[in-house]
Amino acid sequence: MTAGRDAAGQPAVVPDPASTASGRGAHVHPTRECVDLAVRRKAFSRALRAGTGLPTGLVSAYVDSLTSTTSSTSTT
């Protein structure tokens, strides 16, 4: 995860699964529970040394897409 910009150009926490984005990064397990815990503890803002209240919707959507992909492949 890195500090970046969302589609509207606003600062946000964005996924960086390849770990290739420049700048500071934050690591979190790709599970909904870990992302929720990081949000509750305000860990992304602290780790990325960003202002408070960075939106995490892009990260949540990314983790949800991983979970739904894993669920659909494990049932087939």
Surface-to-core class of residue 8, CB atoms within 10 Å of its CB (0-12 exposed, 13-18 middle, 19+ buried): exposed
Find the mean pLDDT for residues 68-76: 63
**pLDDT computed for residue 48 by the predictor:** 92
**Domain tally for the chain?**
1
Indicate if the pLDDT at residue 58 is higher than 90. Answer: yes
Indicate if the pLDDT at residue 74 is higher than 70. Answer: no
**pLDDT computed for residue 70 by the predictor:** 66
**pLDDT computed for residue 39 by the predictor:** 92
Write out the residue range of the structural domain in which residue 38 sits.
Answer: 2-19+28-74
CA separation, residue 18 to residues 26, 34, 52, 63, 72 (Å): 13, 19, 25, 14, 23
Length of the chain: 76
2 residue type, one letter:
T
DSSP-derived 3-state class of residue 9: coil
